């Protein structure tokens, strides 16, 4: 058994690790498409003011003569109930979604990683408290908690972000905890300890590098979930304040005019789908690249 495995993997010593990763990544059309989608979304979001046909429609512009126009050459995604260009608003909405991703994951991933690493390596009460906390958080519907937190405080994007962040770290902590715990029992960790290394060195120099692949896959997939989550919150009316465009609230607005003006729902919806699909494909591609199970 092991011999065949060796013949398959271990004997590729002449190939560099990065070549093998690149090989797996580039042979995966889904991963390449995902990368292109994510890149295009990021570029659109950054350049939104310069490439959208009507950047001024982001504000409280009213143009009743042009309202409820179906998609055409001038308005790719049609116009909404007050005559604003949905395409321009959707691109700016994308911007907010990506900012939300950066904000939420930028805070919750490091926190979750550090707590997960610590719980897995130190064990004892550290482990019990952190895993206990994540288990409790798991029992709460994240959407309900986010709604409750953001509404009881004040339904703003900032509060929604805080609410999501408060919940999100637990998923990372759980995952990193599992990896950290298995890595912590390896001989090389004990060897580092015998050599005199302190906990900081062991956590961040010995264990963390072994978690990088897991973290990057999880973070990429999470980007999609955060976008979904943020869109759902704003769809339910707990997001940015009008007139700032947000993909979720644009769908909610358009819903009143269903099914006649379907583009007002489906076009912003398609943008959400486009970017979440991109992150998912990229995440799956990374997973294949790192040759991870599951």
Partner 1 sequence: MSDALLKVEGLDVLFTSYGQTRQVLRDISFTVGAGERVALIGETGSGKSVTAKAILGTLPRNATVSAGRIEVEGRNVLELPRGARDALKGSAFSLIMQDPLSSFNPVFKIGTHLDDVLRFADSREGVKSSRAQRRARIAAVLRRVQLADPDRVMNAYPSELSGGMRQRVLIGLALLHQPKLLIADEPGTALDVTTQDEILNLINTLVAEEGMALLMITHNLGVVRKVADRVVVMRHGDIVEAGPCEKILAAPEHDYTIGLLDAVPPLYGPRVQTQKISAQAPIVRATGLGKQFGRHGKRFTAVKDVSIALREGEIFGLAGESGSGKTTVARMMMGLSRPTSGTVTVEGTPNPGRPLAQIVYQNPGTSLNPKRTVKQSLGLPLKYAGLTGAARDARMAELMALVRLPVSYLAKYPHELSGGQKQRVAIARALAADPKVLILDEPTAALDVSVQKTVIELLLHLREELGLTYFMISHDLSLMRNFCSRLAIMLRGEIVEEGATPEIFADPKHPYTRALIAAIPVVTDDEERYKPAVSPEERAAFLVKTTD
Partner 2 sequence: MQQNPFTAILTRLGTFVLVMVVLSIMIFVLARVVPGDPARMALGPTATPEQVSALRSEMGLDDSLPVQYVSYMGRALQGDLGMSLLSQRPVATDLAQTVPATVELVLVAVVIMFAVAIPLGVMTAHFRDLWVDHVGRLLSLVGVTIPSFLFAISLQLLAARYFGDWPIIGRMDHGLGFAGGPTGLMLVDSLLAGRIDVFLSALQHLALPAVALSMAGIGQITRITRSAMLENRRKDHVLTLQSFGVPERVIIFRYLLKLSSIAPLTIMGLEFASLIGNAFVIEMVFSWGGFASYGLNAILQKDLNAVTAVVLVSGLFFIVANLIVDVLISIIDPRMRRKEAR
Q: Considering the complex, what minimum distance in angstroms separates the CB of residue 187 from partner 1? A: 4
158 vs 212, beta carbon nearer partner 1 = 212
Strand partners, 85: 79
Q: Considering the complex, what minimum distance in angstroms separates the CB of residue 122 from partner 1? A: 17
273 binds partner 2, rule: CB under 8 A: yes
119 binds partner 2, rule: CB under 8 A: no
Positions 133 through 152 that interact with partner 2 (CB under 8 A): 135-136, 138-145, 147-149, 151-152
276 binds partner 2, rule: CB under 8 A: yes
31 vs 86, beta carbon nearer partner 1 = 31
197 binds partner 2, rule: CB under 8 A: no
Q: How many residues does the chain have?
A: 294
Nearest to 41 by CA among 273, 285, 288, 291: 273
Q: Among 164, 251, 282, 286, which residue sits at the site for partner 2 (rule: CB under 8 A)?
A: 251
Q: Among 232, 243, 244, 257, which residue sits at the site for partner 2 (rule: CB under 8 A)?
A: 232
190 binds partner 1, rule: CB under 8 A: yes
Q: Among 205, 242, 255, 291, which residue sits at the site for partner 1 (rule: CB under 8 A)?
A: 205
* Whole-angstrom Cα Rg for the chain: 23
Q: Among 73, 139, 194, 200, which residue sits at the site for partner 1 (rule: CB under 8 A)?
A: 194
The one segment of 72-80, 89-97, 187-195, 272-280 that binds partner 2 by CB under 8 A: 272-280
85 vs 206, beta carbon nearer partner 1 = 206
What SS3 string covers the chain?
Answer: CHHHHHHHHHCHHHCCHHHHHHHHHHCCHHHHHHHHHHHHHHHHHHCHHHHCCCHHHHCCCCCHHHCCCCCCCCCCCCECCCCCEHHHHHHHHHHHHHHHHHHHHHHHHHHHHHHHHHHHHHCHHHHHHHHHHHHHHHCCCHHHHHHHHHHHHCCCHHHHHHHHHHHHHHHHHHHHHHHHHHHHCCHHHHHHHHCCCCHHHHHHHHHHHHHHHHHHHHHHHHHHHHHHHHHHHHHCCCCCCCCCCCHHHHHHHHHCCCCCCCHHHHHHHHHHHHHHHHHHHHHHHHHHHCCCCC
Say which entry of partner 2, partner 1, none residue 19 contacts (CB below 5 to 8 A, set by partner kind): partner 1
Residues with Cβ within 8 Å of 279's Cβ and at least 6 positions away in sequence, in order, are: 34, 38, 220, 221, 223, 224, 227
User: What is the pattern of x (binds partner 1, CB under 8 A) and - over residues 3-22?
Assistant: xx-xxxxxxxx-x-x-xx--
- Interface residue list for partner 2 (CB under 8 A): 1, 132, 135-136, 138-145, 147-149, 151-153, 224, 228, 231-232, 235-237, 248, 251-252, 255, 258-259, 262, 265-266, 269, 272-273, 276-277, 280-281, 293-294
- Interface residue list for partner 1 (CB under 8 A): 1, 3-4, 6-13, 15, 17, 19-20, 23-24, 186-192, 194-197, 201, 205-206, 209-210, 212
């Amino acid at each position: 058994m092991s011999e065949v495995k060796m013949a398959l993997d271990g004997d590729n010593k002449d190939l560099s690790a990065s070549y093998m990763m690149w090989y797996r990544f580039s042979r995966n059309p889904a991963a390449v498409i995902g990368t292109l989608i994510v890149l295009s979304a990021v570029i659109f979001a950054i350049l939104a003011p310069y490439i959208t046909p009507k950047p001024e429609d982001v504000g409280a512009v009213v143009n009743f003569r042009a309202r409820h126009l179906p998609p055409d050459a001038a308005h790719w995604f049609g116009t909404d109930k007050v005559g604003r260009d949905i395409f321009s608003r959707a691109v700016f909405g994308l911007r907010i979604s990506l900012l939300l991703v950066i904000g939420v994951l930028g805070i919750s991933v490091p926190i979750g990683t550090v707590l997960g690493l610590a719980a897995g390596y130190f064990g004892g009460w550290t482990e019990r408290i952190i895993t206990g906390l994540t288990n409790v958080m798991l029992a709460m519907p994240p959407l309900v908690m986010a709604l409750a937190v953001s509404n009881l405080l004040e339904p703003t994007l900032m509060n929604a972000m805080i609410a999501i962040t408060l919940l999100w770290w637990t998923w990372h902590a759980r995952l990193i905890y599992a990896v950290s715990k298995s890595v912590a029992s390896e001989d090389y960790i004990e060897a580092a300890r015998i050599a005199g290394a302190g906990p900081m060195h062991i956590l961040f120099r010995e264990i963390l590098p072994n978690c990088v692949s897991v973290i990057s896959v999880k973070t990429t997939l999470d980007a999609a979930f955060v976008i979904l989550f943020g869109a759902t919150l704003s769809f339910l009316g707990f997001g940015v304040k009008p007139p700032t465009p947000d993909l979720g609230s644009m769908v909610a607005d358009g819903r009143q005019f269903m099914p006649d003006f379907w583009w007002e729902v489906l076009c912003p919806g398609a943008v959400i789908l486009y970017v979440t699909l991109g992150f998912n494909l990229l995440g799956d591609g990374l997973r294949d690249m790192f040759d991870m199970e599951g």
